[in-house]
């Protein structure tokens, strides 16, 4: 049942990124046409930026689909981390893009360029609707790849909100410097969030304990499952992709249990950890005096 949930979650993630990719790609075409019609360099520059977004979204879509492949003798954990690779690449592209925006916005503060306000309003509203729909779709997901892609689109939504705001003001007052100022504020917000996600990606690659988990708390819960469990040590907990969690640990028992006791203990530990969101568990069960070792493996396919 849990496997079925993970499978459906993976399919939903693929669908979310795929829809976001299609929406973004279509809007790139609209931006190019709109930029040429309004003779707006700002629109055309944003179209180039969105084209880069579309390429990275397409890459995320492909990697997310491949990440659902079954494990094999060469990749025993499967391909789940491919989606993490896509998230890392998207984070890098977005940080580079943010640097490009900053580099172009700063000079415009000192040398503001005229903006065609009327033509921009229509495109701004359309940009908010299209990119906003993609953001809402991706906000349903929990995988880190979806969160990073969401930031791509959120940057576009906020950018178009700024364009709409500036365009409306410029219909009445000629203050073109508002455009680069708002661009810098938006970029700073997006950059802050992408750096936080980048840090989470690095932690996953370093196999850090997933966010929201505490090893001592987990060990305490397992100790309370059965009176024969006297000690827990060597616990390791990490995540493959920010969504699928894995744990290994050693349980020391006071005496040699019967087969029924071992089966019940195994079931209790498995159920408890699955309820906590830990998908794959390897437990080494050993006597308290370490005279012998018995190994048990439980997870799910």
Distance CA 97, CA 151 (A): 12
The three-point CA angle 43-94-35 to 5° equals 10
CA nearest neighbour of 246 among 288, 216, 285, 218: 218
Sequence ranges of the domains in the chain:
2-205, 215-298
Confirm whether 2-205 and 215-298 share one CATH topology. Answer: no
Distance CA 286, CA 288 (A): 6
Other C-beta atoms closer than 10 Å to the C-beta of 171 total 12
Specify whether the CB–CB gap between 300 and 3 falls below 8 A: yes
Other C-beta atoms closer than 10 Å to the C-beta of 205 total 12
* β-bridge pairing 280-287 and 245-253: parallel
Specify whether the CB–CB gap between 244 and 144 falls below 8 A: no
Specify whether the CB–CB gap between 284 and 250 falls below 8 A: yes
Dihedral of alpha carbons 89, 90, 95, 99, sign = positive
Per-residue pLDDT of the chain in tens (301 residues, 90 and over written 9): 444 444 444 566 667 667 777 877 888 888 788 777 766 656 666 666 677 667 767 776 777 677 667 778 888 777 777 777 877 877 787 788 778 778 877 888 888 777 777 888 888 898 888 878 777 766 655 566 666 667 767 777 877 787 788 788 888 888 878 777 877 877 787 788 778 878 888 898 898 999 889 999 898 888 887 777 888 888 999 998 777 899 998 888 877 767 787 778 878 888 888 889 898 888 888 776 654 444 444 444 4
- What is each CA distance from 244 to 39, 95, 103, 207, 251, in whole angstroms? 49, 27, 39, 12, 23
Q: CATH 3.40.50.720: does it fit domain 2-205? A: no
Class of CATH domain 215-298: alpha beta
pTM, full prediction:
0.65
Distance CA 262, CA 276 (A): 21
Tokens of 45: 């520059």
């Amino acid at each position: 049942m849990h496997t079925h949930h993970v499978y459906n979650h993976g399919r939903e993630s693929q669908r979310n990124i795929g829809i976001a990719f299609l929406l973004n790609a279509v809007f790139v075409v609209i931006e190019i046409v709109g930029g040429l019609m309004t003779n707006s360099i700002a629109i055309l520059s944003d179209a180039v930026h969105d084209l880069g977004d579309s390429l990275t979204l397409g890459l995320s879509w492909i990697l997310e689909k491949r990440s659902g492949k079954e494990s094999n003798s060469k990749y025993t954990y499967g391909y789940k981390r491919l989606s993490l690779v896509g998230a890392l690449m998207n984070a890098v592209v977005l940080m580079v893009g943010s640097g490009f925006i900053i580099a172009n916005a700063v000079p415009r503060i000192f040398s503001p360029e005229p903006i065609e306000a009327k033509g921009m309003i229509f495109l701004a509203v359309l940009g908010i609707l299209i990119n906003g729909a993609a953001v809402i779709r991706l906000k349903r997901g929990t995988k880190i790849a979806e969160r990073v892609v969401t930031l791509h689109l959120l940057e576009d939504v906020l950018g178009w909100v700024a364009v709409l705001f500036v365009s409306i003001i410029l219909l009445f007052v000629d203050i073109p410097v508002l455009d680069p100022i708002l661009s810098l504020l938006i970029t700073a917000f997006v950059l802050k969030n992408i750096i936080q996600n980048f840090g989470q990606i690095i932690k996953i690659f370093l196999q850090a304990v997933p966010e929201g988990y505490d090893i001592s708390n987990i060990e305490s819960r397992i100790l309370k499952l059965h009176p024969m469990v006297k000690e827990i040590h060597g616990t390791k907990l990490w995540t493959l992709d920010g969504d699928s969690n894995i744990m290994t640990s050693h349980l020391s028992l006071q005496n040699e249990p019967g087969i029924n006791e071992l089966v019940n203990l195994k079931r209790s530990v498995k159920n408890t950890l699955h309820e906590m969101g830990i998908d794959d568990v390897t437990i080494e069960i050993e006597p308290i005096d370490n005279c012998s070792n018995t190994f048990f493996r439980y997870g799910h396919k």
